[in-house]
Structure 1
Protein backbone atom coordinates (compact mmCIF):
# COMPACT_ATOMS: atom_id res chain seq x y z
CA UNK A 1 0.00 0.00 0.00
CA UNK A 2 1.36 3.42 -0.98
CA UNK A 3 0.52 6.26 1.37
CA UNK A 4 1.11 9.97 0.82
CA UNK A 5 1.14 12.13 3.94
CA UNK A 6 0.76 15.90 3.68
CA UNK A 7 2.71 17.33 6.59
CA UNK A 8 5.36 19.87 7.50
CA UNK A 9 7.35 17.08 9.12
CA UNK A 10 10.12 15.28 7.22
CA UNK A 11 9.38 11.93 8.85
CA UNK A 12 5.92 10.34 9.09
CA UNK A 13 6.76 8.84 12.48
CA UNK A 14 6.87 12.38 13.90
CA UNK A 15 3.16 12.60 13.04
CA UNK A 16 2.02 9.04 13.80
CA UNK A 17 4.73 6.99 15.56
CA UNK A 18 2.81 3.75 14.93
CA UNK A 19 3.30 4.04 11.18
CA UNK A 20 6.81 2.64 11.56
CA UNK A 21 5.18 -0.74 12.38
CA UNK A 22 2.87 -0.75 9.34
CA UNK A 23 3.80 -2.54 6.12
CA UNK A 24 3.32 0.35 3.71
CA UNK A 25 5.33 2.84 1.70
CA UNK A 26 4.90 6.36 3.10
CA UNK A 27 5.96 9.55 1.32
CA UNK A 28 5.85 12.88 3.18
CA UNK A 29 4.98 15.93 1.08
CA UNK A 30 4.60 19.56 2.06
CA UNK A 31 0.95 20.73 1.92
CA UNK A 32 1.51 23.13 -0.98
CA UNK A 33 -0.19 23.22 -4.41
CA UNK A 34 2.93 21.94 -6.19
CA UNK A 35 2.58 18.64 -4.29
CA UNK A 36 -1.09 17.92 -4.98
CA UNK A 37 -0.57 16.22 -8.34
CA UNK A 38 1.25 13.37 -6.58
CA UNK A 39 -1.95 12.03 -5.00
CA UNK A 40 -2.84 10.15 -8.17
CA UNK A 41 -0.36 7.40 -7.34
CA UNK A 42 -1.41 6.93 -3.71
CA UNK A 43 -3.71 4.24 -2.33
CA UNK A 44 -4.42 6.36 0.76
CA UNK A 45 -3.75 10.04 1.51
CA UNK A 46 -3.10 11.18 5.07
CA UNK A 47 -3.40 14.84 6.10
CA UNK A 48 -1.61 16.08 9.21
CA UNK A 49 -4.31 18.15 10.92
CA UNK A 50 -2.74 18.31 14.38
CA UNK A 51 -1.77 21.98 14.40
CA UNK A 52 -4.09 23.70 11.89
CA UNK A 53 -7.55 22.20 11.46
CA UNK A 54 -8.81 24.93 9.12
CA UNK A 55 -5.97 24.49 6.64
CA UNK A 56 -6.44 20.72 6.86
CA UNK A 57 -10.14 21.16 6.04
CA UNK A 58 -9.31 23.34 3.04
CA UNK A 59 -6.81 20.78 1.76
CA UNK A 60 -9.26 17.89 2.22
CA UNK A 61 -11.94 19.74 0.30
CA UNK A 62 -9.55 20.34 -2.58
CA UNK A 63 -8.25 16.79 -2.74
CA UNK A 64 -11.63 15.12 -2.31
CA UNK A 65 -13.10 16.98 -5.28
CA UNK A 66 -13.06 15.36 -8.73
CA UNK A 67 -9.34 14.57 -8.59
CA UNK A 68 -7.64 11.23 -8.94
CA UNK A 69 -7.17 11.01 -5.17
CA UNK A 70 -7.40 8.01 -2.88
CA UNK A 71 -9.38 8.08 0.38
CA UNK A 72 -8.22 10.67 2.91
CA UNK A 73 -7.42 10.01 6.57
CA UNK A 74 -7.01 12.98 8.89
CA UNK A 75 -4.41 12.76 11.67
CA UNK A 76 -5.75 14.55 14.75
CA UNK A 77 -4.74 15.47 18.25
CA UNK A 78 -7.01 14.87 21.25
CA UNK A 79 -10.19 16.94 20.85
CA UNK A 80 -9.77 17.50 17.12
CA UNK A 81 -12.43 14.98 16.13
CA UNK A 82 -15.12 17.18 17.65
CA UNK A 83 -14.92 19.72 14.80
CA UNK A 84 -14.60 17.37 11.80
CA UNK A 85 -17.68 17.40 9.56
CA UNK A 86 -18.76 15.21 6.59
CA UNK A 87 -18.30 18.10 4.14
CA UNK A 88 -14.56 18.07 4.81
CA UNK A 89 -14.27 15.14 2.40
CA UNK A 90 -12.17 12.87 4.65
CA UNK A 91 -12.98 9.16 4.64
CA UNK A 92 -11.79 8.62 8.22
CA UNK A 93 -9.54 10.00 10.94
CA UNK A 94 -6.96 8.61 13.33
CA UNK A 95 -5.43 10.05 16.47
CA UNK A 96 -1.71 10.76 16.35
CA UNK A 97 -1.09 8.35 19.25
CA UNK A 98 -3.03 5.46 17.71
CA UNK A 99 -1.65 1.96 18.20
CA UNK A 100 -0.19 0.06 15.23
CA UNK A 101 -3.21 -2.26 15.24
CA UNK A 102 -5.71 0.61 15.04
CA UNK A 103 -3.75 2.52 12.41
CA UNK A 104 -3.33 -0.60 10.28
CA UNK A 105 -7.03 -1.41 10.51
CA UNK A 106 -8.10 2.10 9.46
CA UNK A 107 -5.72 2.09 6.50
CA UNK A 108 -6.99 -1.29 5.32
CA UNK A 109 -10.65 -0.36 5.72
CA UNK A 110 -10.52 2.91 3.79
CA UNK A 111 -8.44 1.27 1.08
CA UNK A 112 -10.94 -1.57 0.65
CA UNK A 113 -14.01 0.67 0.47
CA UNK A 114 -12.47 3.32 -1.80
CA UNK A 115 -14.54 3.67 -5.01
CA UNK A 116 -12.96 3.46 -8.42
CA UNK A 117 -11.99 6.91 -9.63
CA UNK A 118 -13.18 8.12 -12.99
CA UNK A 119 -10.42 9.16 -15.34
CA UNK A 120 -10.58 12.88 -15.96
CA UNK A 121 -8.80 14.32 -19.02
CA UNK A 122 -5.88 16.34 -17.74
CA UNK A 123 -6.07 19.07 -20.37
CA UNK A 124 -9.83 19.63 -20.65
CA UNK A 125 -12.45 20.45 -18.05
CA UNK A 126 -16.12 20.71 -19.00
CA UNK A 127 -18.82 22.23 -16.81
CA UNK A 128 -21.98 22.67 -18.83
CA UNK A 129 -21.35 25.33 -21.48
CA UNK A 130 -17.99 26.15 -19.91
CA UNK A 131 -14.94 24.44 -21.44
CA UNK A 132 -11.48 24.96 -19.97
CA UNK A 133 -8.29 23.95 -21.78
CA UNK A 134 -5.58 23.71 -19.13
CA UNK A 135 -2.82 23.28 -21.71
CA UNK A 136 -3.70 26.35 -23.77
CA UNK A 137 -4.84 28.31 -20.67
CA UNK A 138 -8.14 29.19 -22.30
CA UNK A 139 -11.74 29.16 -21.12
CA UNK A 140 -14.77 29.36 -23.39
CA UNK A 141 -18.51 29.72 -22.90
CA UNK A 142 -20.47 28.27 -25.83
CA UNK A 143 -17.30 28.65 -27.89
CA UNK A 144 -16.74 32.29 -26.95
CA UNK A 145 -13.26 32.90 -25.54
CA UNK A 146 -13.13 34.57 -22.12
CA UNK A 147 -10.47 37.23 -21.63
CA UNK A 148 -9.06 36.12 -18.27
CA UNK A 149 -5.95 37.00 -16.32
CA UNK A 150 -3.78 34.14 -15.06
CA UNK A 151 -5.23 34.29 -11.54
CA UNK A 152 -8.79 34.50 -12.86
CA UNK A 153 -8.13 31.46 -15.03
CA UNK A 154 -6.64 29.47 -12.11
CA UNK A 155 -9.56 30.45 -9.88
CA UNK A 156 -12.13 29.38 -12.47
CA UNK A 157 -10.22 26.13 -13.04
CA UNK A 158 -10.19 25.34 -9.30
CA UNK A 159 -13.94 25.92 -9.08
CA UNK A 160 -14.62 23.87 -12.23
CA UNK A 161 -12.54 20.94 -10.98
CA UNK A 162 -14.67 20.94 -7.85
CA UNK A 163 -18.01 21.80 -9.48
CA UNK A 164 -20.90 21.46 -7.07
CA UNK A 165 -18.57 21.44 -4.06
CA UNK A 166 -18.19 24.48 -1.79
CA UNK A 167 -14.60 25.69 -1.55
CA UNK A 168 -13.67 27.93 1.35
CA UNK A 169 -11.86 31.18 0.69
CA UNK A 170 -8.82 29.71 2.42
CA UNK A 171 -8.90 26.66 0.14
CA UNK A 172 -9.01 28.91 -2.92
CA UNK A 173 -6.21 31.10 -1.56
CA UNK A 174 -4.01 28.06 -1.00
CA UNK A 175 -4.77 26.60 -4.42
CA UNK A 176 -4.48 29.74 -6.57
CA UNK A 177 -2.19 32.08 -4.65
CA UNK A 178 -0.19 29.52 -2.66
CA UNK A 179 -0.01 28.77 1.03
CA UNK A 180 2.59 31.48 1.64
CA UNK A 181 0.41 34.29 0.26
CA UNK A 182 0.10 36.99 2.93
CA UNK A 183 -2.96 38.80 1.60
CA UNK A 184 -6.44 38.35 3.04
CA UNK A 185 -9.46 36.46 1.78
CA UNK A 186 -10.86 39.65 0.23
CA UNK A 187 -8.51 38.90 -2.69
CA UNK A 188 -10.72 35.91 -3.55
CA UNK A 189 -13.89 38.03 -3.36
CA UNK A 190 -12.43 40.63 -5.73
CA UNK A 191 -11.37 38.02 -8.29
CA UNK A 192 -14.74 36.23 -8.10
CA UNK A 193 -16.47 39.53 -8.78
CA UNK A 194 -14.27 40.09 -11.84
CA UNK A 195 -14.86 36.54 -13.03
CA UNK A 196 -18.61 36.95 -12.81
CA UNK A 197 -18.39 40.14 -14.83
CA UNK A 198 -16.44 38.35 -17.55
CA UNK A 199 -18.85 35.41 -17.59
CA UNK A 200 -21.60 37.89 -18.41
CA UNK A 201 -25.12 38.26 -17.11
CA UNK A 202 -26.23 34.96 -18.63
CA UNK A 203 -23.62 32.94 -16.75
CA UNK A 204 -22.46 35.00 -13.77
CA UNK A 205 -24.80 33.01 -11.50
CA UNK A 206 -22.78 29.84 -12.15
CA UNK A 207 -20.37 30.93 -9.39
CA UNK A 208 -22.51 30.79 -6.29
CA UNK A 209 -21.73 32.35 -2.92
CA UNK A 210 -22.20 30.30 0.24
CA UNK A 211 -22.44 32.93 2.96
CA UNK A 212 -19.61 32.88 5.50
CA UNK A 213 -18.06 29.84 3.80
CA UNK A 214 -16.89 30.38 0.23
CA UNK A 215 -17.86 29.72 -3.39
CA UNK A 216 -18.89 26.91 -5.71
CA UNK A 217 -19.45 26.45 -9.42
CA UNK A 218 -22.75 24.72 -10.00
CA UNK A 219 -23.88 23.88 -13.53
CA UNK A 220 -27.32 22.92 -12.18
CA UNK A 221 -27.90 26.66 -11.97
CA UNK A 222 -27.21 27.02 -15.70
CA UNK A 223 -30.22 28.41 -17.52
Structure 2
Protein backbone atom coordinates (compact mmCIF):
# COMPACT_ATOMS: atom_id res chain seq x y z
CA UNK A 1 0.00 0.00 0.00
CA UNK A 2 1.31 3.42 -0.92
CA UNK A 3 1.54 6.35 1.46
CA UNK A 4 -0.11 9.40 -0.11
CA UNK A 5 0.50 12.88 1.28
CA UNK A 6 -1.93 15.62 0.28
CA UNK A 7 -0.94 19.24 0.77
CA UNK A 8 -4.16 21.21 0.74
CA UNK A 9 -5.40 24.60 1.93
CA UNK A 10 -8.50 22.68 3.07
CA UNK A 11 -6.52 20.41 5.42
CA UNK A 12 -9.29 20.40 8.03
CA UNK A 13 -11.73 18.78 5.59
CA UNK A 14 -11.57 15.82 3.26
CA UNK A 15 -9.66 17.54 0.45
CA UNK A 16 -9.94 14.77 -2.13
CA UNK A 17 -12.63 12.38 -0.88
CA UNK A 18 -12.34 9.93 -3.79
CA UNK A 19 -8.86 8.92 -2.58
CA UNK A 20 -10.53 7.34 0.44
CA UNK A 21 -11.88 4.66 -1.89
CA UNK A 22 -8.36 3.45 -2.62
CA UNK A 23 -6.51 1.02 -0.43
CA UNK A 24 -3.69 3.48 0.21
CA UNK A 25 -2.97 5.38 3.39
CA UNK A 26 -3.85 9.05 2.87
CA UNK A 27 -2.57 11.88 5.07
CA UNK A 28 -3.64 15.51 4.64
CA UNK A 29 -1.61 18.45 5.95
CA UNK A 30 -1.91 22.20 5.34
CA UNK A 31 -0.35 23.46 2.12
CA UNK A 32 2.15 25.69 3.90
CA UNK A 33 5.94 25.53 3.94
CA UNK A 34 5.95 25.33 7.75
CA UNK A 35 3.94 22.08 7.58
CA UNK A 36 6.68 20.43 5.55
CA UNK A 37 9.08 20.40 8.49
CA UNK A 38 7.23 17.58 10.24
CA UNK A 39 5.54 16.06 7.20
CA UNK A 40 5.11 12.29 7.28
CA UNK A 41 7.02 10.19 4.81
CA UNK A 42 5.16 9.31 1.65
CA UNK A 43 5.44 7.56 -1.68
CA UNK A 44 3.58 10.30 -3.58
CA UNK A 45 2.87 13.95 -2.77
CA UNK A 46 -0.31 15.54 -4.13
CA UNK A 47 -0.63 19.32 -4.09
CA UNK A 48 -4.18 20.64 -4.13
CA UNK A 49 -3.91 23.59 -6.51
CA UNK A 50 -7.63 23.96 -7.22
CA UNK A 51 -8.08 27.17 -5.24
CA UNK A 52 -4.77 29.06 -5.22
CA UNK A 53 -2.45 28.51 -8.16
CA UNK A 54 0.18 31.03 -7.06
CA UNK A 55 0.62 29.43 -3.64
CA UNK A 56 0.65 25.95 -5.14
CA UNK A 57 3.37 26.96 -7.60
CA UNK A 58 5.51 28.35 -4.77
CA UNK A 59 4.98 25.21 -2.72
CA UNK A 60 5.93 22.96 -5.64
CA UNK A 61 9.13 24.91 -6.19
CA UNK A 62 9.99 24.66 -2.48
CA UNK A 63 9.39 20.91 -2.52
CA UNK A 64 11.65 20.39 -5.54
CA UNK A 65 14.34 22.74 -4.24
CA UNK A 66 14.53 20.88 -0.94
CA UNK A 67 15.14 17.59 -2.73
CA UNK A 68 11.77 15.85 -2.84
CA UNK A 69 12.53 12.35 -4.05
CA UNK A 70 9.00 11.11 -4.75
CA UNK A 71 6.52 11.97 -7.51
CA UNK A 72 4.80 15.33 -7.13
CA UNK A 73 1.27 15.41 -8.56
CA UNK A 74 -0.87 18.51 -8.98
CA UNK A 75 -4.63 18.47 -8.50
CA UNK A 76 -6.08 21.19 -10.72
CA UNK A 77 -9.29 22.49 -12.17
CA UNK A 78 -9.65 22.56 -15.95
CA UNK A 79 -8.80 26.26 -16.05
CA UNK A 80 -5.75 25.80 -13.82
CA UNK A 81 -4.16 23.31 -16.16
CA UNK A 82 -3.27 26.05 -18.64
CA UNK A 83 -1.16 27.86 -16.01
CA UNK A 84 1.13 24.91 -15.25
CA UNK A 85 4.54 24.73 -16.88
CA UNK A 86 7.70 22.68 -16.46
CA UNK A 87 9.17 25.10 -13.91
CA UNK A 88 6.55 23.96 -11.36
CA UNK A 89 8.52 20.72 -10.99
CA UNK A 90 5.49 18.42 -10.93
CA UNK A 91 5.42 14.94 -12.40
CA UNK A 92 4.20 14.90 -15.96
- With the length of structure 2 as denominator, give the TM-score of the two structures: 0.84
Q: Gaps spanning 5+ residues in structure 1: where?
A: 93-223
What secondary structure is seen at the aligned counterpart in 2 of 1:26? Answer: strand
1:82-124 deviations in Å (ceiling 9; x for gaps): 11001100114xxxxxxxxxxxxxxxxxxxxxxxxxxxxxxxx
Cα distance in 1 between the residues matched to 2:85 and 2:24: 28
Aligned-partner SS, 2:37: helix
1:76 matched to which residue of 2? 76
The alpha-carbon distance between structure 1 residues 87 and 40, as it changes in their structure 2 partners (threshold 3 A), is farther
In structure 2, the residue matched to 1:200 is: none
1:11, 1:21 → 2: CA distance?
16
Larger Rg: 1
Deviation at 1:23, TM superposition (A): 1.3
Task: Report the more deviating stretch, 2-11 or 43-52.
Answer: 2-11
* Structure 1 position 48 matched with structure 2 position 48: yes
- Per the alignment, residue 5 of structure 1 pairs with 6
Higher helix share: 1
Structure 2 gaps of 5+ residues are none
Alpha-carbon distance in structure 2 between the residues aligned to 1:46 and 1:68 = 12
2-side partners of 1:26 and 1:8: how far apart? 16
Q: Number of aligned residue pairs: give it.
A: 90
What's the TM-score, normalizing by structure 1?
Answer: 0.37
2:27 maps to 1:27: yes
Distance 1:45 1:86 in 2: 17
